[in-house]
Structure formats: C-alpha cells, structure tokens
Structure 1
Amino acid sequence: MGPVPLPTKNRIYCVLKSLHVHKDAIFHFEIRTHQRLIDILHPTAQTINSLKQLHLSAGVDVEVKL
C-alpha cells in the first residue's frame, strides 16, 4: 500500500539572542520529523533484503519490521 503520512513531530527550541543586552529577544528554532508508513502485502525474502540494503541520503532512515 502507498505511503501513509504519520503525525509530524515538532521540536521547538528557544534561545536567548543576548544574555546581557536584549533579554526579551529570543530566537526560535524548529526541527520537524516527518514519518511515512509503507505496508507491503505478501513480502518475499528478496523484497526484505532489498529494503535492508537500500542506500538513502543522509538524514533518512529506514526501519523494517516483520
């Protein structure tokens, strides 16, 4: 079945702009983690091996559960 989008996890970090001068000025940084679920019906051993050996770009992870 196609990729099912799971809820996005948002992590927000607040950092003071300056410790001494601008105490009310704050920078906000956000990290969003997007997850997708792919359900494979009737997987074969070759399908599972090819998913485990898949080469992806940095920051992208694949987790295979049986």
Structure 2
Amino acid sequence: MLNYKIQIKAFDGYILNISVIKIINYISKQNIKVNGPITLPTKKKIYTILRSPHVHKKSREQFKLYIHKRFVVVYNVKSKILKKMDLPSGVKLKLKKC
C-alpha cells in the first residue's frame, strides 16, 4: 500500500472535471482517503501559420491549444485499483509514487 499523486491532463476542461469527479467517486467507494482535486495552471500554446503559401506574408492565422490539469493525492492504495478506472478519450492519467 502506497501513496500516489495522480496528475490528470486534458484539452477540454469540462471533460476533465467530469473525469476527476469519476476518479474521486470511484476511490471514495473503496474507502480510501483522497486529497484534492487541486487545480494546476492551464498551459496555452499558440501556433501561427501563413494563410497563403506564396505571397501575402502579413496574412496569418493563429490557433490556440489549452492544456488543463488537475492534481489528486491518494493515500494507502494499491496501483491495481487505480489502473481499472475507465476514463473518456482525451484524458491522460499519470501516476507517481510519493
């Protein structure tokens, strides 16, 4: 039995919040102590692309990509329990022992 830090990432904040609630409900049904969710800063990446391939250098288009993150600490749990959770597509789960 170990303590784990769970970092959850997604491009959509709404899906991320739903999956964090699922994780906390699933773990709390197992009578395991949970601390969180803690909101981490959202990363924003901006990509600039030329609209025209030849001339018109001033004509550009920008795309923004937001990466939302949440953080949950789980106490005295087996790693097998955490790997059995089913999450929506687009949500990345990262486990760290502490």
TM-score range with shorter-chain normalisation? 0.7 to 0.9
Runs of 4+ aligned residues of structure 1 deviating over 6 Å after TM superposition are none
Aligned residues: 63
Specify the alignment match of 1:4 in structure 2. Answer: 38
- Root-mean-square deviation (CA, aligned residues, Å) is 1.5
Q: State how far apart, in whole Å, the 2-side matches of 1:44 and 1:15 are.
A: 47
Q: Percent identity?
A: 37
Q: State how far apart, in whole Å, the 1-side matches of 2:59 and 2:42 are.
A: 28
- 8 A Cα contact 1:10 1:33, kept in partner: yes
Pairing 1:30-49 to 2, within 5 Å after superposition:
30-40=64-74, 42-45=75-78, 48-49=79-80
Larger relative contact order (Cα-Cα within 8 Å, sequence gap ≥ 6):
2
Select the structure that is richer in helix: 2
Select the structure that is richer in strand: 2
TM-score by length of 1: 0.78
TM-score by length of 2: 0.56
Q: State how far apart, in whole Å, the 1-side matches of 2:81 and 2:96 are.
A: 14
Q: Which runs of 5+ in 1 are unaligned?
A: none
Q: State how far apart, in whole Å, the 1-side matches of 2:54 and 2:96 are.
A: 51
Q: State how far apart, in whole Å, the 1-side matches of 2:65 and 2:76 are.
A: 34
Q: State how far apart, in whole Å, the 1-side matches of 2:94 and 2:76 are.
A: 15
- 8 A Cα contact 1:52 1:64, kept in partner: no
